[in-house]
Each structure stands twice: as C-alpha cells, then as structure tokens.
C-alpha cells in the first residue's frame, strides 16, 4: 500500500458570475470568481496538513473538492490512487464517503436536534449497511463515542444536542465521522466555535486519533496558533493559491513569504521575548473576480518591488520540503 493518501494536481475551482439581463443585452464578457486557482500538494497517511489563510482564500473550497462535494473546474484529485471526480459522479460515491469524512465548523448546526447522540452516530452505520444486528450497532456506536472522548458512552446515548455543551457536541460530530473508519478527515475550523478552554481538548483528541488510528487530516483554519499545535505540515493560501508550504516547524519558525510573516506577527504571546514587530497589512484582499497582475499579494505587500507588479512568481523550493511563492524570497529578482 502506497504511503501517499492524497494527490492534488493543479486544482482549480471557478464560479461563474451571473451577468443579469443588462449584462446579457450589452453582451458583457463572462466573469469568474477564482476560488481555487491552480494548487498542487500531496498528503501522506497519518499526516496532519494545516491549510491556513484569511477568509476567502479558498481553504474550504479546496476541502469540499477533495470530498467530492464540489466538482473542480480543472485539475485532478487522486484519493488512494483513484480519481475523486469519477468516484463522486458514479456508483462508488458511497465508498468515497466511507473513506473521507468532514468535520464541520459549527457543532450547533451539524447535529439534528431531533436525534439523540446514539441515533446521530448510528446513522452512518445504517446508511452504509455496516451492521447486521442491534448488538453490533450498540457496540460500534459505544466504541466511536468513547473514541471521541465521551465516557462512559452510555451516559450520552439518550441525550439530545441541546443537552450538551459545545465541546461535547463537537465530540459527537467527530464520533459520527469516525463511525465509518475513514482514512481522511477534513476538519473545517473544528475549534473556532468553542470556548478557549475547550479548544485544547479537541485538538488533543485529533492528535490522539492520528496517533492511534493513523487517520490523515486536512486541518482548515485561519488560526496559525492552533495549526502550530497539531500540524505536521502547513500550507498557507492567499487568494486561491498556495504561497508557502512546508514542515510546520520550518514554515512557522522561519517563514519566507511576507504574507506568512504578517500572519505570524499578530499571534498573541504572553512572553515579552516572543513579541516582535507587528506587520499590519493595509487594505482588503483583491477582488477574486478581477485579479491583480503579477504577484497576487503585491497590493498589500510591505516589501513590494516593481517586478512583483508585473511578474508572476512560481512556487519554488527554498529548503528541504519547503516551498515559497515569492520572487524576492527565492532570489528570482533581487532587491
């Protein structure tokens, strides 16, 4: 069995902008939102890759494409050697859903308020016909709920979501995702809706699942602090492209891209020696419909050069397994 679980090759996802009646009459050219615009990366079995960036950078769209919930405009997604587009559009859709699961951001909206905890976790098993008796279903549901950190499981069987805390709800969501023994979890901001005191518990749970069950995870977040805690590698997205990717300790300790440096500079720290100069980015990200020429980050870059406005930098290797999309950082053009 190959160690490579997931391969993303030049993934693009564009959304057509409606022209309206006036646009049709005037024959205005078709416009597109560049949600994801040509990204490539791989994931290994048992690896946690954090996909970080501001809202609108394309993180969630990438995750939905990987799960087959959005069809890419271009590119290829290979999951365990199989094309996700073919799986998602054919009879093997259920097989893909078994092997790759999504953990939603909001545990309050993820659960059906009319279902008990037992029913929520048992539902995937029933849909996929994975249990043949009530005793087998009981045993599997109990196992998954306890794997998610709710012990003893029987104390939660008959509770409804409104009877649980936010952290307990998220654990039920995770237990439901674990029911099918997936090889990949796409965790979309899984702790952003939780109290700070609960976040570390959920993050530790994700690490335990990785270590004990060898589950790979795409951890989608805007919070570099939590990414540093759980991730083996970090990929930084900006306006639909990956601008920096590499081992977490390398990217976060020695970032090369100005955008990554800016994100790291605003992470709060209780230690005075760790407080550096904050890099405040001016303005908002450019319109994903009307992309800037050259480097996409140049309108907000604090070290912008004339070349940045006209030349598109490539994602180049900087160090071992560390890649950056910046002409100044890679030396493609000199200061």
Q: What percent of the chain has pLDDT over 70?
A: 92
pLDDT given at position 92:
79
Q: For the chain, what is the mean pLDDT?
A: 89
If one compares 143 and 274, the residue with the highest pLDDT of the two is 143
pLDDT for the residue numbered 281: 80
Full-model pTM: 0.91
Q: Which pLDDT score is estimated for 50? A: 97
Torsion of CA 64, 68, 71, 73, to 10 degrees: 80
pLDDT in tens, 89-147: 666 788 888 899 999 888 888 899 999 999 999 999 999 899 999 999 999 999 999 99
pLDDT class of 197 with cuts at 50, 70, 90: confident
pLDDT at site 87: 81
Q: How far is CA 80 from CA 5, 135, 268, 321, in A?
A: 5, 32, 39, 22
The residue written with tokens 């910046």 in the block is: 326
Domain 4-259 has CATH 3.40.250.10: no
pLDDT band at 29 (very low <50, low <70, confident <90, very high): confident
Contacts 24+ apart (CB under 8 A), 329-334: 329/256, 329/257, 329/258, 330/256, 333/305, 333/307
Non-local CB neighbours of 209 within 8 Å, separated by 6+ positions: 147, 174, 178, 185, 215, 217
Cα 237 to Cα 61: distance, rounded to the nearest angstrom: 12
Question: At 14, is the pLDDT very low, low, confident or very high (cuts 50, 70, 90)?
Answer: very high
CA distances from 229 to 13, 149, 204 (A): 30, 19, 9
Does an H or E element contain 43, and which? strand 31-44
- Regarding beta strands 100-103 and 184-188, do their DSSP bridges make them parallel or antiparallel, or are they unpaired? parallel
Given the DSSP bridges, would you call strands 74-79 and 82-83 parallel, antiparallel or unpaired?
Answer: antiparallel
Q: Tell me phi and psi for residue 104, to 5 degrees.
A: -80, 160
Q: Are strands 316-319 and 100-103 parallel, antiparallel or unpaired?
A: unpaired
What are the boundaries of each domain within the chain? 4-259
14: Cβ contacts below 8 Å, ≥ 6 apart = 32, 33, 34, 35, 37, 73
């Amino acid at each position: 069995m190959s160690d490579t679980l997931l391969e993303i090759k030049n993934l693009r996802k564009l959304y057509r902008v409606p022209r309206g009646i006036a646009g049709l009459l005037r024959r205005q050219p078709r416009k597109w939102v560049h949600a994801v615009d040509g990204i490539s990366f791989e994931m290994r079995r048992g690896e946690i890759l954090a996909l970080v960036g501001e809202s609108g950078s394309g993180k969630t769209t990438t995750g939905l494409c990987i799960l087959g919930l959005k069809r890419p405009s271009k590119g290829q997604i290979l999951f365990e050697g199989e094309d996700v587009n073919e799986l998602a559009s054919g009879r093997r859709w259920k097989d893909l859903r078994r092997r790759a699961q999504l953990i939603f951001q909001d545990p309050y909206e993820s659960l059906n308020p009319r279902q008990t905890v037992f029913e929520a976790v048992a539902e995937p098993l029933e849909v996929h016909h994975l249990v043949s008796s009530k005793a087998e279903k009981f045993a599997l549901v109990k196992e998954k709920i306890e794997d998610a950190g709710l012990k003893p499981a029987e104390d939660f069987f008959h509770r409804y979501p409104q009877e649980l805390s936010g952290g307990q709800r998220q654990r039920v969501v995770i237990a439901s995702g674990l029911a099918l023994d997936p090889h990949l979890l796409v965790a979309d901001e899984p702790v952003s809706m939780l109290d700070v005191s609960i976040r570390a518990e959920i993050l530790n749970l994700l690490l335990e699942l990785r270590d004990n069950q060898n589950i790979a995870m795409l951890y989608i977040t805007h919070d570099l602090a939590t990414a540093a805690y759980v991730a083996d590698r970090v990929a930084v997205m900006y306006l639909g492209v990956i601008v920096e990717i590499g081992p977490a300790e390398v990217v976060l300790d020695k970032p090369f891209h100005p955008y990554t440096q800016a994100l790291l500079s605003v992470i709060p720290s209780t230690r005075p020696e760790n407080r550096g100069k904050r890099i405040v980015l001016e303005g908002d990200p450019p319109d994903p419909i009307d992309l800037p020429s050259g480097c996409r980050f140049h309108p907000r870059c604090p070290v912008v050069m004339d070349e940045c406005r006209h030349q598109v930098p490539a994602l180049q290797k900087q160090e071992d397994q560390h890649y950056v999309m910046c002409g100044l950082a890679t030396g493609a053009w000199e200061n």
